[in-house]
Amino acid sequence: MSKRRPIAWALLTGLLLAPPSLGIPIDDARLRAAGLETGNWLMYGRTHDENRFSPLDQIGERSTGRLGLAWSRELGTTRGLEATPLVEDGILYISGAWNLVYAIDARTGGILWHYDPKVQRSRALFLCCDAVNRGVALYRGKIYIGTLDGRLIALDQHTGKPVWDVSTADITKPYAISGAPRIARGMVVIGNGGAEYGVRGYVSAFDAQNGNLIWRTYTVPGDPANGFESKALEKAAQSWSGEWWKTGGGGPAWEGVVYDPALDLLYFGTGNPTAWYRALRGKGDALYTASILAVRAATGEIVWHFQTTPGDNWDYDATQPLVQAELSIRGRMRKIIMQANKNGFFYFLDRATGEFLSGKQFVSGVNWATGLNPRTGRPVEAKSFLESTEPMIVSPHPDGAHNWNPMAFSPTTGLVYVPAKSDSHMLHVPDMQWAYNPDKGNAGGDDFYEGPMADKDHAMSGPKGELVAWDPVRQRAAWRVRLPTASGGGVLATGGNLVFQGRADGILAAYRATDGKQLWSFDAGTGIMAPPVTYMVDGVQYVSVLAGWGGPTALFNPPGWGKMKSGFGRLLTFRLDGRAEFHPPPFGHQGPPPMPSFVEASPEQVHEGELLYGAHCAACHGINAVAGPLPDLRYAGKQTLEGIDSIVLAGSRASMGMPSFAKILDADQVRAIRAYIVSRARADAMAGARTP
């Protein structure tokens, strides 16, 4: 061994310092050592641990005053940008709206190549959360991207040309992929989404070289009449009631996949059941929805599970990012996996066994549960929520105390930095007349509810955005920073004692990691959801982040959530002494909507249109017809309003992402929606209102 160590170190040093011309591939060994490549960012979370910590310290707490823009690159979209850039040898690889992929020169921002998979835009009807994508994977000279129409595509890393393209899902069903692929054992691992519409969740592993399917692990049991794929699923079926398989069951793994090469285990979280509500779905824990699963990477066999929200009734997915660490717990080093869950609790598990170690509320206002069982981690659900079918205010909101936006763990401070929302809430009303319909959403909420408390949720103040520095061992906050907006983007921690985070109002800020003091900020001109990354080129440290406001919060545009800034998406890159000029083009309408001279309608028709708009249009065009990234319908011209049937029913703009609603709405209902839109335009024109 003594003779091999110098040789191994020399090889590793050569790998880290090797110029791009040597063409050293990104293989499994290099990914295992990715933490040593401080100049690159080779994986979604930088390392297999996914702690999003870089030891780079050229940009540090004492030099932030010199931090400035190096360059910016607009990407030609107003949709959401959520991706983590990957960086190898001075080249950035990013994905944008509708799964466009770019290779960009990290020194200049110049586009080296780009690829458009030509996703069918009409599938927007079955996208819960905008036309977004969270990133790509790099491996053996290829770039991998999962698409919104359920494909997994391998591209040549140097040219952007397709190498292979496989379907991961039945395209006749409402599956979509928004998460970034992960690499394990020469395989590309990918999940999918669609529980709000009715799908059966699963994770798949494909051969990275040729795209052949190696294994597939379902997260919920299927039709018992057809048998079960595993003993684990047969056992899980005992926790369901009714005929759950007819809706698919839900539980998709749409985000949060990590890999431990030493244990050869893959971990991922699963989403909500279909429908959301137990009153519609039946009793039982509904395994393995709202759970963290560990599967054997070689075979996909389920090794252990931990259910964060048994019998989920609130859309509390467990798909939030998972972070691995080795920490001392009561004097013993433990292999840990951590998650700040949507449901408001921070979980601390042994990743070898799934043993619950501890869990605490990391935000205020949680009311659905009073705490966790200290031995099992099972939530103690508040009695008032156990069997109720009545409307109620529930907290956290289904958007979560923490959602997909990545958190970061610093081994230097021992803290986890979480983009959080506290005191979030919603009016929770199951539709007792709900029946599964494959042509529309199947969350099961009563979108037309007008009973007691109907206006209460809108009257209440919105959630409070926070950046929380969480001590995972002590299970308490070391510090909190209150944000001026409800929504904060993903997080980066660095060896410069800094934490970077963007937010909905377009501000990218750097905080001191030890106490949360803000040291620097930059106005990006549009809201930031994505996490920043940092890397080094030619001895210079850079920080890059995608700015592009989108996702369900941006589309829904809820009032009371603070200033949210829509605009043109771009990639921003910073360095010390950067002096690039920045002039983001104006976005949106600069005055009140014009007074429409079109369509007289009865109050009854306007009211019907208001309910229909809220049920079918607000998720993309905003509450009260006040839009964020997508067209603000209050400004629609006479020609557009006269041709609304061709748009909404005939799908004349399906290629632009406006699908046909012919299976959901009829002509009279569309006219009622038009009457409501016109009434909103008139009201705001008369009041001289301006868009937010």
- Could you please report the per-residue DSSP string of 25-86? ---HHHHHTGGG-TT-B-STTSSTT---EE---SS-TTTGGGEEEEEEEE-S--S---PPPE
CA angle 154, 160, 163 (to 5 degrees): 35
SS3 338: strand
Q: Which long-range contacts (CB under 8 A, 24 or more apart) does 218-224 make?
A: 219/251, 219/252, 219/253, 219/270, 219/288, 219/289, 219/291, 219/293, 220/244, 220/248, 220/249, 220/250, 220/251, 220/273, 220/286, 220/287, 220/288, 220/289, 221/245, 221/249, 222/249
* CA 217, chain centre distance (Å): 22
Task: Tell me how long the chain is.
Answer: 692
Interatomic CA distance for residues 470 and 285, integer angstroms: 29
Q: Which helix (H) or strand (E) holds 328?
A: strand 323-329
Instruction: Judge contact between 403 and 427, C-beta under 8 A.
Output: no
Kindly give, in sequence order, each residue whose CB lies less than 8 Å from that of residue 593, ignoring residues fewer than 6 positions away: 632, 634, 635, 681, 684, 685, 689
Closest CA to 273 of 220, 234, 326: 220
* Sign of the CA dihedral with 52 first, then 58, 62, and 68 last: negative
Tokens of 68: 């400035």
* CA 158, chain centre distance (Å): 28
DSSP state of 648: H
**Cβ-count burial of 432 within 10 angstroms (0-12 exposed, 13-18 middle, 19+ buried)?**
exposed
| Candidates 49, 285, 315, 399; catalytic one | 315
Q: At what angle do helices 603-616 and 667-687 cross, to 10 degrees?
A: 100
Task: State the amino acid at position 204 in one-letter form.
Answer: S
Instruction: Judge contact between 241 and 221, C-beta under 8 A.
Output: no
Closest CA to 237 of 270, 269, 285: 285
SS3 10: helix
**Strand ranges in 553-609 using DSSP code E only, listed in sequence order:** 570-576
- Could you please report the per-residue DSSP string of 246-271? GG--B----S--EEETTTTEEEEE--
Instruction: Judge contact between 467 and 489, C-beta under 8 A.
Output: no
Interatomic CA distance for residues 44 and 396, integer angstroms: 27
Number of H helices, E strands in the chain: 11, 37
* CA 299, chain centre distance (Å): 27
Interatomic CA distance for residues 440 and 325, integer angstroms: 41
The CA-atom distances, in angstroms, between 121 and each of 71, 131, 584, 664 are 31, 9, 27, 18
CA angle 479, 481, 484 (to 5 degrees): 170
Task: State the amino acid at position 405 in one-letter form.
Answer: N
Has 315 been annotated as catalytic?
yes
Q: Which helix (H) or strand (E) holds 281?
A: helix 278-281
* CA 267, chain centre distance (Å): 17
Tokens of 249: 């069951």
Closest CA to 473 of 294, 320, 333: 333
The strands making up 302-307's β-sheet, listed across from edge to edge, are 258-260, 265-269, 291-296, 302-307
* Sign of the CA dihedral with 337 first, then 409, 524, and 138 last: negative
Active site residues: 315
